[in-house]
């Protein structure tokens, strides 16, 4: 069974919510990415999203754009990232999702990229700029490789289109709780419970909510309304702060554990 599907099934039977963490791959380098992944697994992270560095990350705010830049500067390419996933797999079975722009997949060739990702130990892809309406071949290849194709739903998505998206997705639905790009926010969206309920009316897939969650209190509040919460920019910000420190893994790991603990009490 796919690790993402298995993890959500385990959490559901235990009556727990999922905690998903996003980091930019190769920030500050791929060895740090490997070490952080292992630390996050121990800290209680359920699913790890690795952002594949791209020169034009349109969906991302400044924190994650800078992480992508640092990843490119450290020489992180899709093949080198997959080598890092192989290294993580030697010590951990944490479910891994690649957060990626389609151009990077297209450059390698869709069939080869998906095959290589599955072989390395990736569990799912979240392709930011590939609409479901244009995904027939992609979905078929992903399914045959045993990978989850994860789709985004936004607050501005009309209900008719939301229904189409969630019926085509697999693994989980990623609900973007705010309009605009990624980034930390001071508060959680007030209409979150009603939006999650609207999505739930159309799918049995778990719903994880992200974009803007920056502290344990917000993480707990979001997890209480959804099946899980995703924290990205707040963790990436910590990596930016401690990137050159020998305490990078310990400091970021402790921050992530505080978020994981909050989610698990939701």
> Which CATH number is 197's domain given?
3.20.20.70
Percent above pLDDT 90 for the chain:
88
pTM over 0.85: yes
Active-site residue list: 49, 60
Q: Give per-residue pLDDT as tens, 29-40.
A: 999 999 999 999
Please give the pLDDT value at position 58.
80
Sheet holding 47-51, edge to edge: 148-149, 124-127, 96-100, 47-51, 18-24, 228-231, 207-210, 173-176, 151-153
Give the range of the structural domain holding residue 85, as residue numbers without chain letter: 3-264
Q: Give per-residue pLDDT as tens, 160-197.
A: 999 999 999 999 999 998 655 555 565 566 688 999 99
Please give the pLDDT value at position 177.
82
Q: Give per-residue pLDDT as tens, 119-163.
A: 999 999 999 999 999 999 999 999 999 999 999 999 999 999 999
Number of domains in the chain: 1
Encoded tokens for 156: 């501005």
How far is the CA of 240 from the CAs of 50, 53, 191, 245, in angstroms? 15, 15, 31, 10
Encoded tokens for 157: 């998505």
Instruction: For residues 232 and 9, give the distance between their C-alpha atoms in angstroms, rounded to a whole number.
Output: 23
Among candidate residues 42, 49, 93, the one with its CA nearest the CA of residue 261? 42
Instruction: For residues 59 and 251, give the distance between their C-alpha atoms in angstroms, rounded to a whole number.
Output: 27
- Asked if the model's pLDDT at residue 212 lies above 90, the reply is no
Higher per-residue confidence, 180 vs 74: 74
Residues 177/189, Cβ–Cβ less than 8 Å: yes
């Amino acid at each position: 069974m796919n690790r993402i599907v298995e993890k959500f099934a385990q959490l559901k039977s235990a009556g727990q919510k999922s905690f998903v963490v996003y980091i930019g791959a190769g920030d500050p380098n791929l060895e740090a990415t490997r070490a952080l992944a292992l630390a996050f697994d121990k800290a209680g992270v359920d699913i790890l999203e690795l952002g594949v560095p791209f020169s034009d990350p349109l969906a991302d705010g400044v924190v994650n754009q800078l992480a992508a830049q640092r990843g490119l500067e450290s020489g992180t390419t899709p093949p080198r990232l997959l080598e890092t996933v192989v290294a993580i797999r030697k010590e951990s079975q944490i479910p891994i999702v690649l957060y990626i722009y389609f151009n990077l997949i297209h450059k390698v060739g869709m069939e080869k990229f998906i095959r290589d990702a599955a072989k390395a130990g990736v569990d799912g892809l979240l392709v930011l700029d590939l609409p479901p309406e244009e995904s027939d071949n992609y979905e078929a290849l992903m399914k045959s490789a045993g990978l989850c194709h994860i789709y985004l739903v936004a607050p501005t998505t009309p209900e008719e289109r939301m229904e189409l998206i969630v019926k085509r997705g697999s693994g989980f639905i990623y609900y973007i709780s705010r309009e605009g790009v990624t980034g930390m926010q001071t508060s959680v969206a007030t209409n979150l419970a009603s939006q999650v309920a609207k999505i739930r009316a159309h799918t049995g897939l778990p719903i994880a909510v992200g974009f803007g969650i920056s502290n344990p209190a917000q993480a707990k509040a979001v997890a209480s309304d959804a099946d899980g919460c995703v924290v990205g920019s707040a963790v990436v910000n910590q990596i930016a702060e401690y990137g050159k420190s020998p305490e990078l893994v310990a400091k970021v790991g402790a921050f992530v554990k505080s978020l994981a603990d909050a989610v698990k009490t939701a």
